Amino acid sequence: MKKKSAPFLKSLHILAATLLALTMPLQPNQAGAESSNRPSSQVGITVESRVSHEFGRSITFNAKIQTAGAIQQASLLFRGIREETTRVETLQVAADGSTTFAYDATLNVFPPFSEIIYWFQATLTDGSTHTSEPQTYHYTDNRFSWQETSQSIVTVHWYEGDAAFATAALESAAKGLLAMRDIVPVSLTEPVHIYIYSNVEDLSDTFLLGGRAWAGGHAHADLGVILVAISPGANQFTEMDSAIPHELAHVMLYRALGGKYYQQPAWLIEGIASMVELYPSPDYARALEIATANDTLIPFVELCESFPADSGSAYLAYAQSQSFVSYIRDAFGISGISRLIAAYSDGFDCDLGATKALGSSLGQIESRWRETALGMNRGGVAFRNLLPFLFLIFIVLVVPIWGAIDLVRQRRKNALKPR
């Protein structure tokens, strides 16, 4: 057995300690208030601000702006912490410097559980302009009374169920980290927040209010935020071991790849996430069986950029991707998946990336997957399997016979030559 290096053992020990911490007994705490009240000052301007919101409806900024001179004009500037475009709103400031602005969150939405960065700017009557220090506000789904509990990097938020429910969720997160560790480096420093809705309807409403279409679950991979729907009850463990590792995979892939995460084909990202589910949906196999029988499988070249919008086709895309990436793992090993990720990270397109990493085009690999995993074109598979034997028969039988025939023809030809 090969001796493992010291860095490997150190990483393994850190991972083991984290996973142990994730499964320790918990003491649940009630989530904090949804408002902020903090001073912000720069040279020439001091601001005391308080922000509150009604999720999906409005965000209200209250502030008291103090400056060295009279204010001619004041503005509120804010944006999502990952956005490039800044919203600018003109403020009406009272004589004592107080101001209020209500932002209509139904028209220009922010994603749920994202962070908003905001600051104030004031132009004085002497023409000088002063800008306050930026502040950050957490835009939560405050329609529910969230409880929360944390261990290591993972915090679970929930509003139905007991402490054991949260413990089970943390255990599922630990299993998800273990499942991902062989595919990409697992980040154990940045926090992960898991929000568990008690039913699909509540989660669906959250997506709609946050400006997002249908989804069974979602990960804000760049923010380390996971949203899933799991009802407390007999099926909670299976659902947790499916949904939480899936969404956690997105977070870990993003943290390992950074901006190159978005260069990966949708089928590869979702296939990896579905592959690490401890209990993949049994309906995946049924969906593949029906699509195979009806010849309605989606070519993977159509699943490079994104998945279909309608739920039925999207579900088939997930089923195909889970099966396809599992086939690649079985045929080429985990290193094959790593080579795929590296090729796409280097900028190769969907087809050439497969050729670069695995030596075959995406279409060729898909054909072999259809034959091997789905049992399509069994005649073609049987023929290719027999090819080595047919070649051997050709060498052993046909070549000597052909040689004998050629020898007879040569003797006849020589016998007919004039002497």
193 and 215: one domain? yes
Q: What is the DSSP letter of 396?
A: I
Please, are residues 375 and 338 in contact by the beta-carbon 8 Å criterion? no
pLDDT for 380 equals: 47
List CB contacts of 247: < 8 A, sequence separation 6 or more.
194, 217, 218, 219, 226, 227, 228, 273
Q: Are strands 87-91 and 98-104 parallel, antiparallel or unpaired?
A: unpaired
Q: Is 66 inside any structural domain?
A: yes
CATH code where residue 187 lies = 3.40.30.160
pLDDT at 282: 86
Same domain, 158 and 252: yes
Domain count across the chain: 4
On whether residue 155 sits in a domain, the answer given is: yes
Last residue of a domain, one of 215, 237, 259: 259
- Angstrom CA distances, 369 to 12, 322, 375, stand at 34, 12, 9
Domain assignment of residue 22, yes or no: no
List, run by run, the mean pLDDT of 10-residue segments along the chain (419 residues): 40 48 46 53 84 96 94 96 92 96 91 94 95 96 96 96 96 95 89 96 86 69 94 95 96 96 97 92 93 96 94 94 97 97 97 97 97 78 46 55 65 62
Q: Which of 250, 150, 145, 246 is nearest to 197 (CA)?
A: 145
Confidence (pLDDT) at 217: 77
Confidence at residue 82, expressed as pLDDT on a 0 to 100 scale:
84
**b (16+ CB within 10 A) / e for 64-83:** bbebeeebeebbbbbbbbee
pLDDT at res. 28: 45
Q: What is the pLDDT of residue 182?
A: 87
Q: What is the predicted pLDDT for the residue at 208?
A: 84
pLDDT value of residue 401 = 66
Does the reported pTM lie above 0.75? yes
Q: Are residues 282 and 344 in the same domain?
A: yes
**Are both 272 and 313 inside the same structural domain?**
yes
Residue 352's pLDDT is 96
In a domain, 31, yes or no: no
Same domain flag for 104 and 149: no
**pLDDT value, residue 40:** 67
Same domain? 253 vs 152: yes
- Position 29 scores a pLDDT of 44
Q: Could you give the CA distance from residue 135 to residue 40 in angstroms, rounded to a whole number?
A: 8
pLDDT at 393: 54
Identify the domain containing residue 290 by its residue range.
Answer: 264-376
Residue 10 lies in a domain: no
